[in-house]
Structure 1
Amino acid sequence: MSDNTHQNPQPVPFRGGGFRPQRIRGVGLAVFILLIAFVEWGTRVGFISNLTLPRPSAVFATFQDLIETGMLWKHLLPSLSRLAVGAALGVTVGVGVGVLIGLFSLIRAGLVPLVAALFPIPKIALLPLFVIWFGIDEGSKYALIALGTFTPTVVATYGAVDNVDRTLIRMGQSFGLGWFSIVRKIVLPGALPGILSGLRVSIAIGIILLVAAEMLGAQYGIGAYILEAGSLYDLERLFAGVVILSGLGVLTSGLIGWIERRVLAWRV
């Protein structure tokens, strides 16, 4: 029996995956479809009041009408433009400042207290001030989104730089790598996962602030559309706007996930 055991060893399952998440396609979509089906059923049989939630089919019809009349793009394109400009400013400056804080002690001592003071301030509360400074047009909206995405990006970036394995840095120094080479080849690649994770939070905050900014002094935009629907208590239009925002969040998260898979393939 022992000879047979040696000749036909039992396979040992691999247990070194390190809890690496596996992509399982279709589960999220199935959960979403089941939730929508439950709400549709509940509103039709009276289990859920139509004054509380509209029928998903009615929301879909409203969304389809937005597409057919062209109003979807009339509201969506200005919102995308504001989000892109504001978030690009906030994220770009935030990553730069966060890297500087992570690398230089003097800059850390000077800027971390300032960032800590700005971070907990509700940025929506600053909108009237930005309107006074930059006017009621696009400038105040860009500034609000930029500030809202700046502070979480800074915190995520210098935290990611701090978490880079110092053993790798010492190893690079022992091999004679210069300062710029260590930053470019070790620090930035090591910090990139944390930076991209923080970017998800920053963009989500940017979308929230986008809606708030468009509710003040904007004729077109998803926020203006939702405000108008809410003032008329038109739940179908209001939820259609919410669906658009939800889709925008899913698309931006998917884009960041695509970037992660491309630039962080070395983590596999």
Structure 2
Amino acid sequence: MSVEKKKITNRVAFLEQKIPLYASVLGIAGLIILWEAVCQLGIVPPLFLPAPSAIILAGWDMLTNGELVDNLLASLYRIVIGYSIGATVGILVGLILGFSRWFDAIGTPIVYSIYPIPKIALLPLFILWLGIGELSKVTIIALGVFFPVVINTYSGVKSVDQMLIKAAVTFGSNYFNVIRKVILPGALPMIFAGLKLAAGTSLLLLVAAEMIAAQKGIGSMVLHYGNLMITTKLMVGVLILSLLGLTFNRVLQWIEYKLLPWK
């Protein structure tokens, strides 16, 4: 093997090598240690940036008195229900728009015309229509999830090889089987891309909705302690939101791995 070929082989092997898990752990640990050191040295006042140790103590206090659990359960209820409804309807509508020319011609312009509207701007209107209870919050989350999912599902359906669809129809498959065995598997990578994007959107809408119209929830808790300038407890809420986002992403990755082993 020539020297040039060896160099190319080594570069490919370097790009394909797996990064060990401890590298990510060390990166996060290093960031936390640096954060603690900056706070302990007094470089940044505790009011503006509390130390991780102070945040942990505040979080433990909120956990033991039940405040953190109550707010977390309220937020989880809203986001799970809203995300599930928005994702389910988005996938179904995306499949229909992508598969049917008539629905594509009628529905796609409507979806793309409504999509750019900031969903949180519609919350006051939803409160007027649906009341200040849970329904308005769940609806705004479901609406925010719906659009990224429907657009990615639609794009995934359109990216499926038409020759595969024609072959399935030629061999006598009905519409349902074509969707279930050809279109849906081919569109799944794009569908999961939309689901991951929608997970972040759902968290943003959850926090905004809870800050505007909720007595309980992580967003309401963050706003409350921000108004009181208790930044340790405010940071507890921010870190909980970060962990929720990470958890949702990992769960979706695990489901994607199970459904798409070839990917």
* TM norm structure 1: 0.88
Paired residues in the alignment total: 257
Look up the match of 2:69. 73
Q: Give distance in 1, aligned partners of 2:114 and 2:227.
A: 33
Instruction: Kindly provide the amino acid, as one letter, of the partner of residue 208 in structure 1.
Output: L
Residues 104-253 of structure 1 aligned to structure 2 (within 5 Å): 104-253=100-249
Q: Give distance in 1, aligned partners of 2:126 and 2:69.
A: 27
Q: Deviations over 1:71-120 (max 9, x none)?
A: 11111001100111111111111111011010011111111111111111
Mark the runs of 5 or more structure 1 residues left unpaired by the alignment: none
Q: Give distance in 1, aligned partners of 2:134 and 2:155.
A: 32
The alignment status of 1:43 with 2:39, answered yes or no, reads yes
Q: Deviations over 1:229-253 (max 9, x none)?
A: 1100111011100001011111111
Q: Give distance in 1, aligned partners of 2:238 and 2:46.
A: 17
SS in 2 for 1:238: helix
1:174 is displaced (CA, Å) by: 5.0
* TM norm structure 2: 0.90
Look up the match of 2:253. 257
Q: Give distance in 1, aligned partners of 2:252 and 2:258.
A: 10
Tell me: CA distance 1:16–1:100, structure 2 relative to 1, closer, same or farther (3 Å): farther
User: What is the root-mean-square deviation of aligned Cα atoms in Å?
Assistant: 2.4
1:65 is displaced (CA, Å) by: 1.1
Look up the match of 1:61. 57
Contact kept, 8 Å, 1:156 with 1:195, in 2: the verdict is yes
Residues 16-55 of structure 1 aligned to structure 2 (within 5 Å): 22=18, 24-55=20-51
Tell me: CA distance 1:109–1:210, structure 2 relative to 1, closer, same or farther (3 Å): same
Instruction: Kindly provide the amino acid, as one letter, of the partner of residue 239 in structure 2.
Output: V
SS in 2 for 1:48: coil
Instruction: Kindly provide the amino acid, as one letter, of the partner of residue 35 in structure 2.
Output: V
Instruction: Kindly provide the amino acid, as one letter, of the partner of residue 80 in structure 2.
Output: A
Query: Following TM superposition, where does structure 1 have runs of at least 4 consecutive aligned residues deviating by more than 4 angstroms?
Result: 12-17, 19-23, 173-176
Contact kept, 8 Å, 2:47 with 2:229, in 1: the verdict is no
Contact kept, 8 Å, 2:35 with 2:52, in 1: the verdict is yes
SS in 2 for 1:220: coil
Higher helix share: 2
Residues 97-108 of structure 1 aligned to structure 2 (within 5 Å): 97-108=93-104
Instruction: Kindly provide the amino acid, as one letter, of the partner of residue 224 in structure 1.
Output: S
Instruction: Indicate the structure (1 or 2) with the bigger Cα radius of gyration.
Output: 1
Instruction: Kindly provide the amino acid, as one letter, of the partner of residue 114 in structure 2.
Output: L
SS in 1 for 2:216: coil
Contact kept, 8 Å, 2:74 with 2:217, in 1: the verdict is yes
